[in-house]
Structure 1
Amino acid sequence: MSDGNNNNSVSVAYFDSLPQKFSEGDADALLAFGRHLHWGYWSDPTKANGSVADFAVAAENLSRLVTDVAEVQDGLSILDVGCGFGGTIATLNERFCNMHLVGININKEQLSRAETTVQALPDNHIEFIYADACQLPFPDGYFDVVFAVESIFAFSSRENFFKEVRRVLRPGGRLTICDFIPIQAFYRTWKLIEKAIKTLIVRTYGSRSVNFCPVFEYKKLAEATGFELVKTENITSNTLPTYPVVNSLMRREGDEETYRATRGLERLSRRGLLQYMILCFQVSPP
């Protein structure tokens, strides 16, 4: 992904530069990422047409799929951690009623856009709050469902995040995440690669480095923090059409280095070494 710079400007990570792109009238950036800051989902990847408009629909479909996996229904209290521009909150707002919806983020520009563009429908209540994923500013047992849609890899500590989510969830509550997950056989190799390309990753994705976690580590983490992993969905093949669209958007910025970061993710994904998965955890019974 491109950092949005040219040869004469200061390097800015692509996603960090999106608010400026929107204000400058970048129609493709707005259509692709103005609502959702995550990959797309195609139920039939062969029907993807490579357009930005098609990707925007697919990104909405991913949010819908995640809420379906979490078995969301009317009348719930839901937290979206790393809410971006509020896209998943917007989807929940449009699909369900009598909802208490809260999005948190540490990016104030993203929160500002979310507050401006996502308005609660009748009978729903929406809040956007500046807060850290590992220090949730909510009382115990406050939520029914927590989401982290393609954001957990940037949190400072998965363990602290899981502990905080366990605290704020009610009995039987669910945590549902989307994440890039390396297969176990590739995990050791990835840790070596990650050190070598850390600067490139940060230049592309922002100030927090991307770190990956295999499923076996998630299972251990869940057990240690009072959860059980109840659902896993490998949707890698359904997300692959994301890459031609996103790569095109990044490359047109003219920064080949950051373009290569997402091309690297694509190669790992197409080779089956890195999987895009939805994981659903439930609070363990007492």
Structure 2
Amino acid sequence: MAVKDILLPYFDLLLAQLEQGNAKLELAFGRHVHWGYWPQAPQGVVSPEDFSQAAENLTREVYDAAGIENGQRILDVGCGFGGTIASLNENFSGVELIGLNIDTRQLVRAQEKIKACSGNLICFTKGNACWLPFPDQSFDVVLAVECIFHFPQRRQFFEEAFRILKPGGRLALSDFVPRAFLLPLTALSMKWPFSRGFFGRCNLQCTLAQYKSLAENTGFKPRVEKDITKNTLPTYSFLRAMGEELKIKDPSAKFETWIVEWASRLRLLRYLVLSFERIK
């Protein structure tokens, strides 16, 4: 299946600013490009340093849900700038780490920034999450940190993850999961002009019940279900502050972020960490 780059204006902005040497963005988003996780509510203004640590915390929440061990072969799908790969590289030994992304620019940065240590092997490759370019039963763990809503189909990704995982292998992900009655509103995120907005096409259409059904139908059993919505809420004040500092003019950036924030605060949209085990 041919791989095509997708429209992600927020990555265009990030890459341009990082190339220009924006120190605050380098610290906040140079490693991880996703929401943050705070074990306790922060006191005062969230700094780039605070956000960087919170983003690292969120990554660890996801890969801890997979029960990663030394010596495993791990695929990070939608790897971005390689932050999850970097964290695993620093905290485990003898692991083979493969980062996959559809955007060549992100992979180039990841390759430049991350070097293997502790007997680990690291490889970055371009590919589509719904047509994984790997043999059957070739991985112990598949991760998808805050990216699955960009994939063309969740079911096809689950089927591909099942195919490449060894029996007993685990899939762990984080996602914005709506309550069922919110689905008519989240359906708008897939339509124009939102599909062409700051965050690109985002499918926020999978409820927790649908995730469980999807897992069962593709041969997985649920392993971890963790609601961390409250712990991610400080992300929004930081995003607003950075948006003002960067003078982002795209109206969809503010509007889309505002919708997600208030849906989350009202518990209509939950940020969940989920993991599943391939049934032997």
TM-score range (shorter-chain normalised) is over 0.9
TM-superposed deviation, 1:250? 2.1
Q: TM-score, normalised by structure 1?
A: 0.90
Alpha carbons 1:251, 1:259 under 8 Å: kept: no
Q: Does 1:102 align with 2:95?
A: no
Q: TM-score, normalised by structure 2?
A: 0.92
Q: Does 1:39 align with 2:64?
A: no
CA distance in 2 between counterparts of 1:47 and 1:71 reads 31
% identical aligned pairs: 43
Q: Does 1:234 align with 2:230?
A: no
Give the equivalent residue in structure 2 for 1:177: 173
Matching residue's letter, 2:161: V
Q: 1:48 to 1:105 in 2, by over 3 A?
A: farther
Give the equivalent residue in structure 2 for 1:8: none
TM-superposed deviation, 1:267? 0.9
Q: 1:48 to 1:82 in 2, by over 3 A?
A: farther
Q: 1:203 to 1:122 in 2, by over 3 A?
A: same
CA distance in 2 between counterparts of 1:46 and 1:85 reads 26
TM-superposed deviation, 1:187? 2.3
TM-superposed deviation, 1:263? 1.5
Q: 1:212 aligns with which of 205, 213, 225?
A: 205
CA distance in 2 between counterparts of 1:174 and 1:45 reads 31
Matching residue's letter, 2:238: V
CA distance in 2 between counterparts of 1:218 and 1:48 reads 36
Matching residue's letter, 1:134: C
Q: 1:133 to 1:229 in 2, by over 3 A?
A: same
CA distance in 2 between counterparts of 1:254 and 1:188 reads 28
Q: Deviations over 1:86-136 (max 9, x none)?
A: 000000000000000000001110000000001100310000000110111
TM-superposed deviation, 1:249? 1.4
Q: Does 1:131 align with 2:127?
A: yes
Give the equivalent residue in structure 2 for 1:143: 139
Residue ranges of structure 1 left out of the alignment (5+ in a row): 1-10
Matching residue's letter, 1:249: M
Q: 1:255 aligns with which of 240, 249, 254?
A: 249
Secondary structure class of the residue paired with 2:119: coil
TM-superposed deviation, 1:177? 0.3
Give the equivalent residue in structure 2 for 1:163: 159
Matching residue's letter, 2:236: Y
Point out which structure has higher relative CO (alpha carbons under 8 A, 6+ apart).
1
Q: 2:271 aligns with which of 273, 276, 281?
A: 276
Q: 1:82 aligns with which of 68, 71, 78?
A: 78
Give the equivalent residue in structure 2 for 1:5: none
TM-superposed deviation, 1:194? 3.1
Matching residue's letter, 1:178: S
Provide the aligned C-alpha RMSD in A: 1.7
Secondary structure class of the residue paired with 1:127: strand
CA distance in 1 between counterparts of 2:99 and 2:198 reads 24
Alpha carbons 2:190, 2:203 under 8 Å: kept: no
CA distance in 2 between counterparts of 1:132 and 1:266 reads 29
Give the equivalent residue in structure 1 for 2:196: 202
Q: 1:265 aligns with which of 251, 260, 263?
A: 260
CA distance in 2 between counterparts of 1:49 and 1:148 reads 29
Give the equivalent residue in structure 1 for 2:3: none
Secondary structure class of the residue paired with 2:193: helix
Q: 1:109 to 1:20 in 2, by over 3 A?
A: same
TM-superposed deviation, 1:176? 0.2
Matching residue's letter, 1:246: L
Secondary structure class of the residue paired with 2:35: coil
Q: Deviations over 1:210-260 (max 9, x none)?
A: 433111111111111111122100000000001100122123324151222
Q: 1:154 aligns with which of 150, 154, 157?
A: 150
CA distance in 2 between counterparts of 1:230 and 1:195 reads 29
Alpha carbons 1:154, 1:211 under 8 Å: kept: no
CA distance in 2 between counterparts of 1:20 and 1:256 reads 16
